[in-house]
Amino acid sequence: MEGNRIIGIEIFQHNESPGVGEVAANIIADEIVKHQSIAVDAISGCTKSSNGVISAVKQALEKAEVNIGDYLKKPEKSTTSIRKRIEKKADVVVVGAGGAGLAAAVSAHQNGATVLVLEKAPMVGGNTIISGAAYNAVDPKRQQPQGIEDSIEKHYIQTYEGGDRLAKPDLVRILVEKAYPALEWLESLGMRFKDEIFTVLGALWPRSHTPEKPLGTGYIDTYMDYINKHSDEIEIMLKTKAVELIVENGRVTGVEAENQEGTVLAKANNGVILATGGFSANVQARNYYNKMWPDLTNLKTTNRPEITGDGIWMAEKIGANLIGMEHIQLLPMGDPETGSLSGNIEHSVENRIFVNKQGNRFVDEGARRDVMTKALFEQEDCFMWVIVDKHCYPTGDTKNNFNETIDQLVEEGRAFKADTLEDLAVQIGVDPTNLVKSVEAFNMAVEGKIEDPFGRTLFQHKIDTPPFYAGARVPTVHHTMGGVEINTKAQVLDKNGNVIPGLYAAGEVTGGIHGSNRLGGNAVADTVVFGRIAGESAAKAE
């Protein structure tokens, strides 16, 4: 403070998620300083982070013994009717700064193009940065030391069959064959993965890679390190929402967008890449296309609020073909309050079970995601407990995929801990006899003494070593498999199967790659593989 003026806010300690809540907290701090007010608007999708900073600043002001009322005036929004016309030009214009968009931006630049990225959120990262970050690829170097047998053909079959043979086979083939080369590409950019391979929820096989950094920050940090080093040729415009594709003589030549300053006309010399994600956060759209699930109106989503299908609708408007729009993926792993994946205590498929409110198992926990979620809908209140033991959390400071320690989750009441299964059952309100019997039967299946009652085949450790843990989970909308149709060069196709010149797409904005059900760990690989292809194709104006 200088007198009564706030001149700076420094956040010394926080538990915010890297790249998301952490960024939002700093944005809110800057807004408070700018407007000399704590009555600033929260960042969409980061309300708790925003309110945490506002509350902390209020407490600091009280300690400074100033008049709090002086800092409660709502910042005035600009009422000027004069809006700028902002003209931009680049070889490639990318719409969306999530995993696919940033991969495309880096790839396009590596292939000789200047790049402009438009992002409607106030930060980069999209869904990728808040994802579990698992990356599926056949990787003998890491798999063989663990005794894991795998092949590209197995990955292909599991992906194609796992989507009920409704994906485009040529796109599935590209995904599985290019997944490992794309992983090597990431490593060449500086990204680091752990050596241990595991099976992420719904992956069906142990080929999932974990980045060394938490959540999806490793991917985004890697791309941004490259982009920042080449900022003279790659520009990112935040808080800039694309609203329309510009078409001239049958070719997409640019994008019209809007931001606080005015209208942005982004000219693309070679091509436009759509990487805006799916539509899981668009309740109206998912209800319109949903044919598989009960009403989705009240279900929360794992996605960021910006993921509303913008690129899909823009492409459809100029004649792009949409495929697989009815295929909407739900996960059984949503936080009961927020729908997010945070707070999830599972580490890998092999080492946990699900039980309902009666303490009984009800599904093969290594099955397809749609199979598990359908089974969860049949349980009381569509609610389950994930049960694990010390094998997953050797110490209290062991972290989950979301950078949260198990001790932290227990302290916050988002997980429960006990030295016996009976005590754990009492804490979570399930029948102790049922929970003990469920775990005993599972352990016998792990030992090979009985066949698993639900046909499960993925095992590693028994659940027999205290402390035991439980975490609550519910269904949540996670991924939309439908979107614009593309070919193997990531070119967008029209309703007659013809290429729309100048238009490319990558990531969840596309359809036809995953069929009716996406395998866990295939989405991030999809963003990297096809983001890389889209960038190269657009740079070469193919």
pLDDT for the residue numbered 239: 97
- Whether 342 maps to a domain, the answer reads yes
pLDDT at 97 over 80: yes
CA distance 376 to 365: 11
411 within some domain: yes
pLDDT for res 25? 82
Structural domain boundaries enclosing 352: 332-476
Residue 263 lies in a domain: yes
Higher per-residue pLDDT: 326 or 73: 326
Number of domains in the chain: 2
Q: Are 119 and 304 in contact (CB under 8 A)?
A: no
292 located within any domain: yes
Decide if 456 is catalytic. no
Instruction: Say whether pLDDT at 41 is over 70.
Output: yes
502 inside domain:
yes
The three-state secondary structure class of 484 is: strand
State whether 252 and 273 are in the same domain. Answer: yes
* Lowest-confidence pick of 4-13, 82-91, 356-365: 4-13
In this prediction, residue 400 has a pLDDT band, given cuts at 50, 70 and 90, of confident
Residues 374 and 420 in one domain: yes
| 349: DSSP letter | G
Same domain, 435 and 514: no
Tens-place pLDDT, residues 335-373: 999 999 999 998 889 999 999 999 999 999 999 999 999
CATH of the domain at 400: 3.90.700.10
φ/ψ (deg, to 5) at 422? -60, -45
CA atoms of 444 and 463, how far apart (whole Å): 10
- Amino acid type, 58: K
246-270 pLDDT tens trace: 999 999 999 999 999 999 999 999 9
CATH number at 506 reads 3.50.50.60
Residue 79 pLDDT > 60, yes or no?
no
| Choice between 47 and 81, residue whose per-residue pLDDT is larger | 47
**Same structural domain for residues 107 and 214?**
yes
State how far the Cα of 177 lies from the Cα of 529, in Å rounded to an integer: 9
| Residue 26, in any domain of the structure | no
Q: Residue 374: enclosing H or E segment and its boundaries?
A: helix 369-377
Number of other CB atoms surrounding residue 56 within 10 Å: 17
- Active-site choice (286, 361, 368, 369): 369
End-of-domain residue from the set 424, 459, 476:
476
Do both 143 and 207 map to the same domain?
yes
Do 188 and 320 lie in a common domain?
Answer: yes
Q: pLDDT tier at 76 (50, 70, 90 boundaries)?
A: confident
Q: How far is CA 236 from CA 89, 99, 115, 210, in A?
A: 12, 14, 8, 27
- Of 525, 515, 490, nearest to 92 by C-alpha is 490
pLDDT in tens, 453-501: 999 999 999 999 999 999 999 999 999 999 999 999 999 999 999 999 9
Cα separation, 506 vs 127, in Å, equals 14
Residue 199's SS3 state is: coil
User: Is 66 a residue whose pLDDT tops 80?
Assistant: yes
Backbone angles phi and psi of 299, in degrees to 5: -80, 135
State yes or no: pLDDT of 156 exceeds 70.
yes
Distance CA 465, CA 51 (A): 40
pLDDT of residue 17: 62
At residue 81, the pLDDT reads: 64
Shared domain check, 297 and 397? no
Last residue of a domain, one of 431, 449, 476: 476
pLDDT recorded at residue 15: 67
On the question of pLDDT at 48 being above 80, the answer is: no
* String of DSSP letters for 106-156: HHHHHTT--EEEE-SSSSSBTTGGGS---EE---HHHHGGGT----HHHHH
State how far Cα 512 lies from the chain centre. 19
Pair (379, 402) in one structural domain? yes
Closest of 177, 160, 487, 203 to residue 323, by C-alpha: 487
515 with 433, same domain?
A: no
Residues 337 and 316 in one domain: no
Residues 496, 463 share a domain: no
Residue 80 confidence (pLDDT) above 70:
no
* Nearest Cα residue to 364 out of 378, 354, 377, 379: 354
Torsion of CA 233, 526, 499, 257, to 10 degrees: -50
* DSSP result, 206-265: S-EE-BSSSTTHHHHHHHHHHHHHTTTTEEEESS-EEEEEEEETTEEEEEEEE-SSEEEE
More confident: 35 or 105 = 105
The reply to whether 505 and 424 lie within a common domain is no
- Asked if residues 377 and 294 have their Cβ atoms less than 8 Å apart, the reply is yes
Beta-bridge mates of residue 256: 244, 265
* Backbone phi, psi, residue 323, to 5°: -135, 145
Sequence-distant contacts of 310-313: CB under 8 A, at least 24 apart = 310/95, 310/120, 310/241, 310/242, 310/276, 311/95, 311/96, 311/242, 311/274, 311/275, 311/276, 311/277, 311/484, 311/505, 311/509, 312/276, 312/278, 312/279, 312/483, 312/484, 312/509
Q: 23 falls in which pLDDT band (50, 70, 90)? A: confident
User: Does residue 315 or residue 38 have the better pLDDT?
Assistant: 315
Q: Could you tell me if residue 447 is inside a domain?
A: yes
Domain boundary among 427, 457, 476: 476
pLDDT of residue 77 exceeding 80, the answer is no
Q: Is 22 part of a structural domain of the chain? A: no
| Percentage of the chain lying above the pLDDT 70 cut | 97
Return the number of other C-beta atoms located less than 10 Å from residue 84's C-beta.
Answer: 11
